[in-house]
Copies of this chain bind each other. A is one copy, B any other.
Amino acid sequence: MVFVDEGVAAAWPRLCAQITQYVEHLGDAAVLARTPVIIGGGEDAKNEKTLALVLAELATARLCRQSFVIAVGGGAVLDSVGFAAAIVHRGLRLIRVPTTTLAQGDSAVGVKNGINAFGRKNFIGCFSVPWAVINDGKFLASLSDRDWRSGLAEALKVALLKDIPFFEQLHASALQLMHRDHKLMNTVLRRSAELHLEHIIRSGDPFERSNARPLDLGHWSAHKLESLSRFQLRHGEAVAIGLALDAVLSQLLCGFPEREVLRIISSLIHMSLPVYDTLLEDSKAVIEGLEEFREHLGGQLSITLLKDIAKPVQVSGLRGEVIIHAVRILSEIWLGMSNLSDARPAQALG
Protein backbone atom coordinates (compact mmCIF):
# COMPACT_ATOMS: atom_id res chain seq x y z
CA MET A 1 0.00 0.00 0.00
CA VAL A 2 1.34 3.40 -1.00
CA PHE A 3 0.81 6.80 0.63
CA VAL A 4 1.83 9.87 -1.34
CA ASP A 5 2.40 13.38 0.00
CA GLU A 6 -0.18 15.78 -1.49
CA GLY A 7 2.53 18.19 -2.61
CA VAL A 8 4.43 15.42 -4.37
CA ALA A 9 1.28 14.14 -6.09
CA ALA A 10 0.55 17.69 -7.31
CA ALA A 11 4.10 18.23 -8.59
CA TRP A 12 4.16 14.81 -10.29
CA PRO A 13 0.60 14.37 -11.53
CA ARG A 14 1.30 11.05 -13.24
CA LEU A 15 3.02 9.50 -10.22
CA CYS A 16 0.06 7.63 -8.70
CA ALA A 17 -0.96 6.15 -12.04
CA GLN A 18 2.67 5.19 -12.72
CA ILE A 19 2.90 3.40 -9.37
CA THR A 20 -0.27 1.45 -10.13
CA GLN A 21 0.97 0.53 -13.62
CA TYR A 22 4.36 -0.49 -12.28
CA VAL A 23 2.85 -2.86 -9.71
CA GLU A 24 0.44 -4.32 -12.29
CA HIS A 25 3.46 -4.97 -14.47
CA LEU A 26 5.00 -7.06 -11.66
CA GLY A 27 2.24 -9.63 -11.98
CA ASP A 28 2.02 -12.07 -9.07
CA ALA A 29 5.18 -10.72 -7.45
CA ALA A 30 3.27 -7.84 -5.83
CA VAL A 31 -0.28 -6.61 -5.46
CA LEU A 32 -1.44 -3.12 -4.54
CA ALA A 33 -3.98 -3.36 -1.72
CA ARG A 34 -5.62 -0.27 -3.23
CA THR A 35 -4.72 2.73 -5.39
CA PRO A 36 -2.17 5.07 -3.78
CA VAL A 37 -3.63 7.23 -0.99
CA ILE A 38 -2.82 10.93 -1.09
CA ILE A 39 -2.37 12.64 2.28
CA GLY A 40 -1.74 16.26 3.22
CA GLY A 41 1.91 17.15 3.75
CA GLY A 42 3.85 19.50 6.00
CA GLU A 43 3.65 19.61 9.78
CA ASP A 44 -0.14 19.05 9.61
CA ALA A 45 0.61 15.47 8.57
CA LYS A 46 1.95 14.97 12.07
CA ASN A 47 -1.32 15.46 13.93
CA GLU A 48 -3.65 12.87 15.41
CA LYS A 49 -6.23 13.36 12.66
CA THR A 50 -3.83 12.32 9.91
CA LEU A 51 -2.63 9.39 12.01
CA ALA A 52 -6.23 8.22 12.48
CA LEU A 53 -6.80 8.50 8.74
CA VAL A 54 -3.74 6.43 7.86
CA LEU A 55 -4.64 3.80 10.48
CA ALA A 56 -8.16 3.56 9.08
CA GLU A 57 -6.81 3.10 5.55
CA LEU A 58 -4.47 0.34 6.74
CA ALA A 59 -7.32 -1.35 8.64
CA THR A 60 -9.68 -1.19 5.67
CA ALA A 61 -7.06 -2.58 3.32
CA ARG A 62 -6.60 -5.53 5.71
CA LEU A 63 -2.84 -5.52 5.30
CA CYS A 64 -1.03 -8.36 7.01
CA ARG A 65 2.16 -7.96 9.02
CA GLN A 66 4.33 -8.96 6.10
CA SER A 67 2.82 -6.35 3.81
CA PHE A 68 4.82 -3.34 2.70
CA VAL A 69 3.75 0.22 3.33
CA ILE A 70 5.47 2.67 1.00
CA ALA A 71 5.52 6.31 2.06
CA VAL A 72 6.46 8.87 -0.58
CA GLY A 73 6.95 12.42 0.60
CA GLY A 74 8.57 14.89 2.95
CA GLY A 75 9.71 14.10 6.47
CA ALA A 76 6.35 14.86 8.08
CA VAL A 77 4.44 12.40 5.88
CA LEU A 78 7.16 9.78 6.37
CA ASP A 79 6.95 10.30 10.15
CA SER A 80 3.20 9.97 10.33
CA VAL A 81 2.77 7.07 7.90
CA GLY A 82 5.83 5.42 9.43
CA PHE A 83 4.38 5.57 12.92
CA ALA A 84 1.04 4.15 11.73
CA ALA A 85 2.86 1.32 9.93
CA ALA A 86 4.93 0.64 13.05
CA ILE A 87 1.90 0.09 15.30
CA VAL A 88 -0.53 -1.81 13.02
CA HIS A 89 -0.22 -5.53 13.78
CA ARG A 90 2.82 -4.49 15.86
CA GLY A 91 4.70 -3.43 12.77
CA LEU A 92 4.19 -3.62 9.01
CA ARG A 93 7.19 -3.29 6.69
CA LEU A 94 7.95 0.34 5.89
CA ILE A 95 9.69 1.59 2.76
CA ARG A 96 10.50 5.29 2.83
CA VAL A 97 10.80 7.27 -0.39
CA PRO A 98 11.83 10.73 0.83
CA THR A 99 11.24 13.55 -1.63
CA THR A 100 12.83 16.53 0.12
CA THR A 101 16.46 17.40 0.74
CA LEU A 102 15.81 17.31 4.47
CA ALA A 103 14.32 13.83 4.44
CA GLN A 104 16.85 12.43 1.94
CA GLY A 105 19.84 13.73 3.85
CA ASP A 106 18.67 13.05 7.38
CA SER A 107 15.32 11.95 8.77
CA ALA A 108 14.39 9.22 6.27
CA VAL A 109 17.59 7.26 6.87
CA GLY A 110 16.95 7.29 10.62
CA VAL A 111 15.06 4.91 12.89
CA LYS A 112 12.50 7.30 14.32
CA ASN A 113 8.94 8.26 13.55
CA GLY A 114 6.43 10.32 15.45
CA ILE A 115 3.56 12.73 15.58
CA ASN A 116 2.97 15.91 17.55
CA ALA A 117 0.52 15.73 20.45
CA PHE A 118 -0.36 17.62 23.61
CA GLY A 119 1.35 20.67 22.09
CA ARG A 120 4.73 18.96 21.90
CA LYS A 121 6.71 17.97 18.85
CA ASN A 122 7.19 14.21 18.42
CA PHE A 123 5.52 13.58 21.76
CA ILE A 124 4.21 10.27 20.43
CA GLY A 125 6.22 7.89 18.30
CA CYS A 126 8.58 4.98 18.40
CA PHE A 127 11.90 3.67 17.17
CA SER A 128 11.43 1.41 14.19
CA VAL A 129 13.94 0.37 11.55
CA PRO A 130 12.60 0.83 8.00
CA TRP A 131 12.73 -2.10 5.58
CA ALA A 132 14.32 0.11 2.93
CA VAL A 133 14.91 3.77 2.10
CA ILE A 134 15.01 4.88 -1.53
CA ASN A 135 16.51 8.31 -2.22
CA ASP A 136 15.51 9.38 -5.72
CA GLY A 137 17.21 12.65 -6.68
CA LYS A 138 14.62 13.35 -9.38
CA PHE A 139 12.04 14.35 -6.80
CA LEU A 140 14.17 17.33 -5.77
CA ALA A 141 13.52 19.09 -9.09
CA SER A 142 10.01 20.05 -8.05
CA LEU A 143 10.93 21.47 -4.63
CA SER A 144 10.38 25.15 -3.89
CA ASP A 145 13.61 27.08 -3.25
CA ARG A 146 12.74 27.13 0.41
CA ASP A 147 12.42 23.34 0.62
CA TRP A 148 15.46 22.88 -1.58
CA ARG A 149 17.62 24.77 0.93
CA SER A 150 16.15 23.19 4.05
CA GLY A 151 18.16 19.98 3.88
CA LEU A 152 21.43 21.90 3.83
CA ALA A 153 21.07 22.77 7.51
CA GLU A 154 21.17 19.11 8.58
CA ALA A 155 24.03 18.42 6.17
CA LEU A 156 26.00 21.30 7.68
CA LYS A 157 25.14 20.05 11.16
CA VAL A 158 26.46 16.54 10.60
CA ALA A 159 29.56 17.95 8.85
CA LEU A 160 30.27 20.17 11.87
CA LEU A 161 29.97 17.18 14.18
CA LYS A 162 31.91 14.62 12.18
CA ASP A 163 33.65 15.57 8.96
CA ILE A 164 36.04 18.49 8.37
CA PRO A 165 36.38 18.03 4.56
CA PHE A 166 32.60 17.88 4.23
CA PHE A 167 32.29 21.14 6.16
CA GLU A 168 34.91 22.72 3.91
CA GLN A 169 33.00 21.53 0.85
CA LEU A 170 29.71 22.95 2.15
CA HIS A 171 31.35 26.24 3.10
CA ALA A 172 33.01 26.56 -0.30
CA SER A 173 29.94 25.63 -2.33
CA ALA A 174 27.20 27.29 -0.28
CA LEU A 175 26.20 29.72 -3.04
CA GLN A 176 26.36 27.04 -5.74
CA LEU A 177 24.08 24.82 -3.65
CA MET A 178 21.67 27.67 -3.04
CA HIS A 179 21.55 28.25 -6.80
CA ARG A 180 20.30 24.68 -7.24
CA ASP A 181 23.30 22.76 -8.53
CA HIS A 182 21.51 19.45 -8.73
CA LYS A 183 24.51 17.17 -9.05
CA LEU A 184 26.28 18.81 -6.14
CA MET A 185 23.14 18.57 -4.02
CA ASN A 186 22.91 14.83 -4.66
CA THR A 187 26.53 14.39 -3.54
CA VAL A 188 25.93 16.47 -0.43
CA LEU A 189 22.75 14.59 0.52
CA ARG A 190 24.44 11.26 -0.01
CA ARG A 191 27.28 12.21 2.33
CA SER A 192 24.83 13.63 4.87
CA ALA A 193 22.74 10.44 4.79
CA GLU A 194 25.87 8.29 5.12
CA LEU A 195 27.12 10.21 8.15
CA HIS A 196 23.72 10.08 9.87
CA LEU A 197 23.36 6.38 9.17
CA GLU A 198 26.90 5.55 10.29
CA HIS A 199 26.23 7.34 13.53
CA ILE A 200 23.04 5.37 14.20
CA ILE A 201 24.78 2.08 13.43
CA ARG A 202 28.04 2.68 15.25
CA SER A 203 27.34 5.11 18.08
CA GLY A 204 26.22 2.33 20.42
CA ASP A 205 22.95 4.06 21.31
CA PRO A 206 20.64 3.84 18.28
CA PHE A 207 17.53 4.08 20.42
CA GLU A 208 18.77 6.96 22.54
CA ARG A 209 18.69 5.33 25.94
CA SER A 210 21.34 7.64 27.35
CA ASN A 211 21.08 11.37 28.10
CA ALA A 212 23.32 12.37 25.27
CA ARG A 213 22.00 13.50 21.89
CA PRO A 214 25.25 13.61 19.99
CA LEU A 215 23.53 14.33 16.63
CA ASP A 216 21.37 17.13 17.95
CA LEU A 217 23.63 20.14 17.54
CA GLY A 218 21.37 23.14 17.05
CA HIS A 219 18.23 21.19 17.83
CA TRP A 220 17.21 22.17 21.35
CA SER A 221 16.30 25.69 20.21
CA ALA A 222 15.16 24.54 16.76
CA HIS A 223 12.31 22.43 18.12
CA LYS A 224 11.08 25.33 20.22
CA LEU A 225 11.42 27.84 17.36
CA GLU A 226 9.33 25.61 15.13
CA SER A 227 6.46 25.46 17.59
CA LEU A 228 6.80 29.16 18.56
CA SER A 229 6.48 30.03 14.86
CA ARG A 230 3.46 27.71 14.66
CA PHE A 231 5.48 25.68 12.19
CA GLN A 232 5.86 28.59 9.79
CA LEU A 233 9.58 27.97 10.14
CA ARG A 234 10.56 24.77 8.35
CA HIS A 235 12.53 22.27 10.41
CA GLY A 236 15.64 22.95 8.32
CA GLU A 237 15.28 26.71 8.79
CA ALA A 238 14.85 26.33 12.53
CA VAL A 239 17.93 24.08 12.62
CA ALA A 240 19.90 26.72 10.70
CA ILE A 241 19.07 29.30 13.40
CA GLY A 242 19.77 26.69 16.09
CA LEU A 243 23.19 25.94 14.57
CA ALA A 244 24.09 29.63 14.52
CA LEU A 245 23.05 29.96 18.17
CA ASP A 246 24.91 26.80 19.24
CA ALA A 247 28.01 28.02 17.38
CA VAL A 248 27.98 31.17 19.50
CA LEU A 249 27.29 29.14 22.66
CA SER A 250 30.20 26.87 21.72
CA GLN A 251 32.43 29.93 21.50
CA LEU A 252 31.23 31.21 24.90
CA LEU A 253 31.42 27.87 26.73
CA CYS A 254 33.85 25.56 24.94
CA GLY A 255 36.48 27.76 23.34
CA PHE A 256 35.16 27.16 19.82
CA PRO A 257 37.12 29.56 17.56
CA GLU A 258 35.30 32.79 16.65
CA ARG A 259 36.57 32.42 13.07
CA GLU A 260 34.60 29.16 12.74
CA VAL A 261 31.48 30.77 14.21
CA LEU A 262 31.64 33.35 11.44
CA ARG A 263 32.30 30.74 8.75
CA ILE A 264 29.26 28.74 9.89
CA ILE A 265 27.02 31.78 9.90
CA SER A 266 28.24 33.00 6.52
CA SER A 267 27.76 29.52 5.03
CA LEU A 268 24.15 29.52 6.24
CA ILE A 269 23.57 33.01 4.89
CA HIS A 270 25.03 32.04 1.51
CA MET A 271 22.71 29.05 1.48
CA SER A 272 19.86 31.57 1.98
CA LEU A 273 19.02 29.94 5.30
CA PRO A 274 17.99 32.11 8.26
CA VAL A 275 20.48 32.52 11.13
CA TYR A 276 18.40 34.65 13.45
CA ASP A 277 14.77 35.20 14.32
CA THR A 278 13.21 37.71 16.71
CA LEU A 279 11.41 34.76 18.30
CA LEU A 280 14.74 34.10 20.04
CA GLU A 281 14.19 37.31 22.01
CA ASP A 282 11.36 35.66 23.94
CA SER A 283 13.94 34.32 26.38
CA LYS A 284 11.38 32.75 28.71
CA ALA A 285 10.01 30.60 25.88
CA VAL A 286 13.49 29.70 24.61
CA ILE A 287 14.66 28.60 28.06
CA GLU A 288 11.41 26.59 28.37
CA GLY A 289 12.45 24.89 25.12
CA LEU A 290 15.60 23.70 26.84
CA GLU A 291 13.50 21.98 29.54
CA GLU A 292 11.22 20.41 26.91
CA PHE A 293 14.30 19.11 25.12
CA ARG A 294 15.51 17.57 28.39
CA GLU A 295 12.11 16.04 29.08
CA HIS A 296 11.94 14.27 25.72
CA LEU A 297 15.18 12.42 26.36
CA GLY A 298 15.06 12.40 30.10
CA GLY A 299 17.63 12.41 32.83
CA GLN A 300 20.10 15.25 33.22
CA LEU A 301 20.05 17.98 30.62
CA SER A 302 22.95 17.64 28.26
CA ILE A 303 23.40 19.38 24.93
CA THR A 304 25.98 18.91 22.22
CA LEU A 305 28.29 21.85 21.45
CA LEU A 306 31.64 22.11 19.63
CA LYS A 307 35.22 22.53 20.83
CA ASP A 308 36.25 22.68 17.21
CA ILE A 309 34.96 21.46 13.84
CA ALA A 310 34.32 17.69 14.16
CA LYS A 311 35.10 17.89 17.89
CA PRO A 312 31.73 17.77 19.64
CA VAL A 313 31.43 17.95 23.39
CA GLN A 314 28.54 17.29 25.78
CA VAL A 315 27.69 20.28 27.96
CA SER A 316 25.40 20.10 30.96
CA GLY A 317 24.15 22.78 33.31
CA LEU A 318 23.46 25.37 30.60
CA ARG A 319 22.17 28.52 32.29
CA GLY A 320 19.53 30.98 31.12
CA GLU A 321 21.84 34.04 31.26
CA VAL A 322 24.33 32.43 28.91
CA ILE A 323 21.58 31.77 26.40
CA ILE A 324 20.38 35.38 26.56
CA HIS A 325 23.97 36.56 26.11
CA ALA A 326 24.46 34.26 23.11
CA VAL A 327 21.24 35.47 21.49
CA ARG A 328 22.47 39.07 21.80
CA ILE A 329 25.85 38.23 20.26
CA LEU A 330 24.15 36.31 17.44
CA SER A 331 21.83 39.21 16.68
CA GLU A 332 24.85 41.52 16.40
CA ILE A 333 26.73 39.15 14.09
CA TRP A 334 23.61 38.74 12.00
CA LEU A 335 23.10 42.51 11.69
CA GLY A 336 26.75 42.90 10.73
CA MET A 337 26.49 40.20 8.08
CA SER A 338 23.12 41.09 6.66
CA ASN A 339 24.81 42.68 3.66
CA LEU A 340 25.80 39.14 2.67
CA SER A 341 22.24 38.02 2.23
CA ASP A 342 19.76 39.17 -0.38
CA ALA A 343 18.20 41.62 2.08
CA ARG A 344 16.45 38.90 4.02
CA PRO A 345 13.63 40.07 6.28
CA ALA A 346 14.24 40.29 10.02
CA GLN A 347 11.75 37.52 10.56
CA ALA A 348 11.94 34.38 8.50
CA LEU A 349 8.19 34.27 8.94
CA GLY A 350 7.94 37.40 6.87
Contacts and interface: CB of A to CB of B under 8 A. Distances in A.
A136 interface: no
How many subunits of this chain does the assembly comprise?
A: 2
Contact of A298 (B65, B118, B208): B65
Contacts of A207: 90-91
Which of A56, A64, A128, A208 is packed against the most chain B CB atoms within 10 Å? A64
A137 interface: no
A167 B86 CA distance: 37
A86 B295 contact: no
Nearest to A292: B62
A111 to B, nearest CB: 10
A112 B87 CA distance: 11
Given A55-B117, A59-B117, A125 B87 contact: yes
Interface in A278-306: 294-299
Chain A residues touching B, range: 35 or more
A54 to B, nearest CB: 12
Interface in A83-132: 86-91, 112, 114, 117-118, 120, 122-128
Nearest to A59: B118
Nearest to A299: B66
The 4 closest A-B pairs by CB, nearest first: A66-B298, A64-B298, A65-B298, A59-B118
